[in-house]
Amino acid sequence: MSIKGMRSALLFIMCLVLLAGCTSKPSAKEAEQQSLRVMYWDENYFFQQYGDLFTMQHPNIEIEVVSTQSIYSNLGPEDDYVKAFDDFIEKEQPDIVMLGVEQLEKYISDGKVRELDTLIERDKYDIETIYPALIELLKERGDNKLYGLTPNFYGSAIMYNADLFAKYGVELPRDGMSWYEMLELAKQFPVEGDEKSRIYGFAANYGGFTFDQLASMIASSEGVESIDTNSMKVTMNTDSWKKIYQAAIDAIDSKTIYKPSEDGFRGGTMEEYYQQQPFMMGRVAMTVANSYVLQELKQASESIKDYKPFELGIVAGPADSADPEKSRSINLSEVFAISANSPNTDAAWEFIKFVNGEQFAKIKSRSLNNGLLSRMGYSTEYNGHDLQAFYKLKPAPNDYTGMQKIPNEFYMKFQPILESEMKQVEEKKKSLDEALAKVEAEGQVALDEAVKEQEAKKKEEEAKKGTEQGAETEPSTEETAEN
């Protein structure tokens, strides 16, 4: 063999040695084939978002998706969703359950999910770069222990057109502004001009909203509810609600809030669609939107001929006026936890580690399709826009568990009352005090009736169930005769 040939052979052997050194041998436990039942919304979307990537890293773990679609498809208008949800998990026995924050708290108290701190400590799993506010929220639900992790979250921020603020000499929005402050800032913009060309101080990111929708959004941000579920009393005739509705009235009357025409967008080209979104077209100073709007702005610039881009600014908010460091627009819908009775704890933990890990975050950092990444430091900007505003505020408590006591029939009766009274307020036919007093009084009657009807139906169902069980256990005439 020539010297050149010997060198080539030696180089080839060295490459094989290096490759062998870089490829760790799987342990017997890792090589063992395992199965994992994962609870998720939809099987196809699960594999697109998580499953395919995980399987590439862990080919020995076979995933079976337990789709929650059956819960909704089998749920009747009078059925109890909470019970249907619990029954689904009891029947399907997934290793990994997908829960909301309130559901997680309930499952922790019932001892149905496994604590993760010992696994985190055992594997030295880094949670320091996961959005601290989310870790804090999850620990609050578990008595300072972690029982679940979420790879993503949804949150809103205040987006603004910096060019319009500069043009009209208005002070820029700041982090932690409340709805009240934001609406006051919007009033500083001019209201002259025709509907198709004038600018607005504020608009919803999807176009516009009505008076009662604006009030509802303010109430949600402030944590003000229409019902005290402890006493089961309608609480609309209060100072908090008067302040909310008065702010909405003043904002609408100022004509600086964009209200869409009743016709709205009824189909057409993408360009025609975007023309109906005044913020995207540079005609609105501020909006409240989630990160998905950044994708739509990018698409608008690519779809519309002669599109005029503007300088976009993003600040954290809207915040609770009583606590400017907290927001109620931060939502977790995919908290993954391990079932307490799962026989596949290690495989389940490998999945949770992966989808909340750095490698997964790096892969997913270029897309906003599934919200914002919980793992920080990877998705820091999108299309040149800084995303840090979405990570600045802490989640304010949103406890909807008490709302489950309210019958669905109540809302069918209550909503028309509320809409009718507020329409009269908007049209100046009735004072706000009069309207809220009537909404509370008639709403209480509707609530009492709905609760009474629900209790009657429950007793009827229990009696029917008892009769059916009795019939099953009662011996037949033939059996009695034989005995």
Q: Give per-10-residue mean pLDDT for the chain (483 aa).
A: 39 35 41 89 95 94 94 73 90 96 93 97 96 94 94 95 98 97 97 88 77 92 94 96 96 89 62 81 94 89 88 96 93 93 96 96 87 91 91 83 83 94 94 97 96 86 72 55 50
CB 386 within 8 A of CB 380: yes
Q: Is residue 174 located within the same domain as residue 289?
A: yes
Same domain, 142 and 270: no
Residue 205: per-residue pLDDT: 73
Domain span holding position 149: 31-153+331-394
Do 161 and 142 belong together in one domain?
no
161 and 304 belong to one structural domain: yes
321 and 366 belong to one structural domain: no
- Do residue 422 and residue 459 come from a single domain? yes
Cα–Cα–Cα angle for 253, 175, 205, nearest 5°? 50
148 and 55, same domain (yes or no): yes
- Whether 275 and 135 map to the same domain: the answer is no
Whether residue 407 has a cis bond before it, omega within 30° of 0: no
Q: Distance (Å, rounded) from C-alpha 309 to C-alpha 408?
A: 45
Residue-level pLDDT at 267: 61
What is the tally of structural domains in the chain? 3
Prediction pTM value: 0.84
Task: Please tell me the predicted confidence (pLDDT) of residue 305.
Answer: 84
Q: Please tell me whether residues 266 and 406 are part of one structural domain.
A: no
Do 48 and 96 fall within a single domain?
yes
Tokens, residue 296:
């739509």
The last residue of one of the domains, among 327, 352, 373, is 327
Q: What is the pLDDT of residue 131?
A: 95
> Would residue 160 count as lying in a domain?
yes
198 and 276 share one domain = yes
pLDDT in the model for residue 82: 84
User: Has residue 234 been placed in a domain?
Assistant: no
Whether residues 91 and 162 share a domain: the answer is no
Q: CA torsion sign, 381 to 382 to 386 to 390?
A: negative
For residue 180, the domain's CATH number is: 3.40.190.10
Q: Write down which residue in 374, 394, 414 finishes a domain.
A: 394
